[in-house]
Amino acid sequence: MSLHRLTQIVIGVPNVDETAQYYAEFGLAPVGDGKTFSTVDGGEQLRIVHSSRRRLVSLGVGADDTDDLNRVTASLSKLGVNAKTSDQSVEAVDPGTKVSVEIQIAERYTPAPFELPAYNGPGVDARLAQRAPGILRETPVRPRKLGHVVLGSTDQEFSQRFFQQGLGFKISDTVPGLAAFMRCSSDHHNVLVQQAPLAFLHHTSWQVDDVDEIGRGASAMLAADPSRHVWGLGRHYVGSNFFWYLKDPAGNFSEYYADLDCIVDDALWEPGVWEGARGLYAWGAPPPPSFLAPEDLGALMAGAHEDR
């Protein structure tokens, strides 16, 4: 795949300083002015800027070379989407999500492998005379990379074509007429676009090493402010990953995740078609109504109307 990763996102919020403090506590490392944040493996992957309402301003996607940029430019033109081009990037706005997506030549990265701890089980004594490593960790949880973003689109069908046919993302799974899980890397999904009454950012998702890091990270965030809790701990069915969702001060959800499905050979993966919420989770508490329809949607819709 010529596209190979998400590079950076820019989130617009009314309360920049408060939101930036949240992501520092979440485990992202502040860079420079404290409004840009890096992950362990992905480098600088988040920028917080001012906006009248919360939204995803831009999304960066890594490509290998100028051939990839030329392909994207031609494909977007076939969809009737105007693109801004340079020697290093192609930038276009998806009308459905209102997000500016920049395909940029970027280096691939190979993360330092995480050594999975030994687990004891029936008939398997893999860890002897020692406590589980997960309970002995004391350092703050640090996300390894930005994994995916979930966006509301007023035209999900066109947004799916924008990412798939225009940019070159591949479909991993779909919920007909509602959502598409799409990837630009070997991760099961890097972008999920779902039908919504307005364009908005539902959540960002950040990879950590394992389920213990999800639990440690979420526990620390909730110890500081219990109202941050949204949904978790659980395991998704589509994508298979463990998850825990929290809410930042602007109202965006942020997810710690681990153990996501990996697709390295397209011929060996058959995209699934899921109805309703069937594929949403395999176990854990049911999603709260505020996860499916964030409580501030009405206010966001009013704000979007005022912006026009």
What's the mean pLDDT in 69-84?
96
In a domain, 138, yes or no: no
Q: Two tokens at 15?
A: 């309360």
Amino acid (one-letter) located at 199 = A
In a domain, 120, yes or no: no
* Residue of 6, 215, 2 lying closest to 101 (CA atoms): 6
In a domain, 221, yes or no: yes
In a domain, 133, yes or no: no
CA distance 236 to 261: 10
What's the mean pLDDT in 139-152?
98
Are 151 and 97 within 8 A, CB to CB?
yes
Residue-wise pLDDT tens digits, 78-122:
999 999 999 999 999 999 999 999 999 999 988 889 988 889 999
Number of structural domains the chain divides into: 1
Question: Worst-scoring range by mean pLDDT, 162-166, 236-240, 304-308?
Answer: 304-308
In a domain, 260, yes or no: yes
Cis amide leading into 292 (omega within 30): no
CB atoms within 10 A of CB 245: 23
What is this structure's pTM?
0.95
Are 260 and 268 within 8 A, CB to CB?
no
In a domain, 51, yes or no: yes
In a domain, 35, yes or no: yes
Per-residue pLDDT at 51: 97
Per-residue pLDDT at 279: 78
- Say if residue 303's pLDDT is above 90: no
**Domain CATH number, residue 212:** 3.10.180.10
Are 175 and 275 within 8 A, CB to CB?
yes
Per-residue pLDDT at 278: 66
Per-residue pLDDT at 162: 98
Per-residue pLDDT at 276: 66
- Say if residue 307's pLDDT is above 50: no
CA distance 193 to 134: 34
In a domain, 31, yes or no: yes
Split at pLDDT 50, 70, 90, the class of 294 is: very high
Residue-wise pLDDT tens digits, 233-289:
999 999 999 999 999 999 999 999 999 999 999 889 999 998 866 679 999 999 999
The DSSP bridge pattern shows strands 170-175 and 89-93 to be unpaired
* Residue of 16, 103, 105, 87 lying closest to 54 (CA atoms): 16
- Say if residue 196's pLDDT is above 50: yes
Q: What's the mean per-residue pLDDT of the chain?
A: 94
Q: Highest mean pLDDT range out of 15-29, 165-179, 278-292?
A: 15-29
Beta bridge partners of 43: 39
Q: Look up the domain containing 244 and give its range.
A: 3-108+143-307
Per-residue pLDDT at 305: 47
What percent of the chain lies above the pLDDT cut of 70?
Answer: 97
